[in-house]
Amino acid sequence: MRRMSIVKNHWLTYYTNTFRLTVCCILLLLHSGSCVNGQLEQDNHTYKNGMVVSAHPLASKVGLDILKKGGNAIDAAVAVQFALAVVYPNAGNIGGGGFLVYRSKTGETASLDYREKAPSKASHDMYLDTQGNPLVDKSLYGHLAAGVPGSVDGMIRAHQRYGKLSWDQLIQPAINLAKNGFSITSKQASELNQYAKDFKRYNPGKSYLQKTSQWTVGDILKQSDLAYTLELIRDQERAGFYGGETAELIIAEMKSGGGLISKEDLENYQSVWRTPISATYKEYTITTMPPPSSGGVALIQLLKSIEPYPVKRWGYNSDSTIQLITEAERRVYADRATYLGDPDFYPVPQKQLLNQNYIHSRMNDFSWNNATPSSTIKAGILPVDEREQTTHFSIVDRWGNAVAVTTTLNGSYGSKVFVKGAGFLLNNEMDDFSVKPGAPNMYGLIGGEANAIAPNKRMLSSMTPSILAKNGELFMVVGTPGGSTIITSVFQTIIDVIEFNKSMQNAVNAKRFHHQWLPDEIFVEKGAIDSLTKIKLEQKGYKITQRAPIGRVDAILKNQWGYYEGGADPRGDDTALGW
């Protein structure tokens, strides 16, 4: 009897504890997480009224403050763009450019191209020596590397079309940060010390971002010249940057260092509203950036390439999943090199590239037994008819309007050249052109004549700001920096959520891999694949190379309970804030 009593009590305790665990999981699940294999996957970034995810905590706070004041997602985007120019100078900018993708609460979509342009004096072979060999440094460093900036005009255009709060309210937080200063993070201190020699080399007679001793975490960075430039933009809008004092300072800087940007280039610069790419993946609708971004076309090609295959059943980063994605990526990047460029200068065959039959036909010639050498992969026959320093931010407001913005100077701290008296960095976006067909740029990307240099032409980009909807409702806002890895990072983040049921933060945290046709290698973050998977892939002929962290994804997911769930990349100082 005693033994039966013990057994009975044992099972009673077991069922009681199981019941309590189940109830606990259900209650917590209803709040913000999910119960997987008996464990709660918690997420501390779930909010109802809006969210900002950006590369710097102060920029995210600026955006959130704008949302709380009654601003919409575009208002917050403008404020964050200018704040990043102050607190994240290696990529945030007023001397660069970017792309913006917008989705309203009612489903209206738009995309804004404020990509930089080649100066009017630029020429096809401007970075080649007398033997026709690329002069690499000239497109990467110094005054000759800079394209005509687009960020200020882009923000003005976005605000004019969709903004709600006054312009000065959106610029003032950035002015305050520049004028009063802010405490730099540990990562920023390390970067400023790393680039100290470059700042000194390319900026004789200037002291921007320089000090006599080493930078340390907590040092206060004040930028008085930049604050004054921002005040001119606040008070005069476009004329405060593309004309007047600032324009004169840019021209003087060009003359001092042999750059090409002219007064007319600044006066004539215009950002462009373009029709976004819209496509489906299963029950999801993706809105993304069209050319001169290559990202949107490539993202849709990748999603369509894997759509017929059971990657969910194969599992996250299994050998079959990695092999399929690698084979898709090598074909997509081969197409990118041949067919994509500025649509105002080159007839980009966007419709044909996104043709589902064409995409599926590209995947018909690979073998599960062996890797396909990239040397045998060329661009398909069409049917008739960034150092990787960019930055991305994602925003959703209380009404459900969403904005995805990716903005850049190209390399970290751009051309390394500051505009004397204005206090901001110039980009080195000219390297994103194909300096010579078949020659790689700083990210190893190969290009052709479609992306050749021409006066007033926009250079091709990999930036991929994207917004997803499901059943007509907002689902995800996503993007990342990372040069050539931008496309694959956005792609993997999307399928990690859709196919592998990861939370937004876990999808952002996930280790990534990347293939870009040439060089013919799978680049992996440490821990992205296990040793057995590596062995299986290498036996099939895949070369696997470990590299530094890939991407810094900032994303927002609207979960099934209607809460916004943030994903801020731990690879940087990225921060998700909501209310």
Active site residues: 390
Q: Supply 497's token pair.
A: 């959520």
CB of 434 closer than 8 Å to CB of 252: no
**Rounded to whole angstroms, how far apart are CA atoms 72 and 106?**
14
**Rounded to whole angstroms, how far apart are CA atoms 340 and 292?**
7
Query: Looking up tokens 């320093």, which residue turns up?
Result: 389
> Sheet holding 575-578: strands in order across?
272-274, 109-114, 97-103, 402-408, 390-396, 51-54, 575-578
**Rounded to whole angstroms, how far apart are CA atoms 64 and 50?**
8
**Rounded to whole angstroms, how far apart are CA atoms 327 and 528?**
18
Strands 544-546 and 522-524: parallel
Q: Supply 38's token pair.
A: 């008996």
Helix (H), strand (E), coil (C) string for 226-293: HHHHHHHHHHHCCHHHHCHHHHHHHHHHHHHHCCCCCHHHHHHCCCEEECCEEEEECCEEEEECCCCE
CB of 360 closer than 8 Å to CB of 354: no
> Which is nearest to 151 in space by CA: 109, 110, 198, 96?
96
How far, in Å, are 18, 114, 127, 168, 488 from residue 164 at the CA level? 52, 20, 44, 12, 34
CB of 121 closer than 8 Å to CB of 262: yes
Query: Looking up tokens 């079309």, which residue turns up?
Result: 161
**Rounded to whole angstroms, how far apart are CA atoms 522 and 513?**
7
Q: Which phi and psi (to 5°) does residue 168 adopt?
A: -65, -30
Q: How many CB atoms lie within 10 A of CB 219?
A: 16
Q: How many CB atoms lie within 10 A of CB 531?
A: 7
Q: How many CB atoms lie within 10 A of CB 259?
A: 21
**Rounded to whole angstroms, how far apart are CA atoms 350 and 244?**
40
CA 556 from chain center: how many Å? Answer: 14
CA 156 from chain center: how many Å? Answer: 21
Helices (H), 269-419: 295-306, 311-314, 319-339, 350-353, 356-362
Residues in the chain: 579
How far, in Å, are 27, 43, 165, 219 from residue 73 at the CA level? 32, 23, 11, 32
Q: Supply 499's token pair.
A: 């196919």
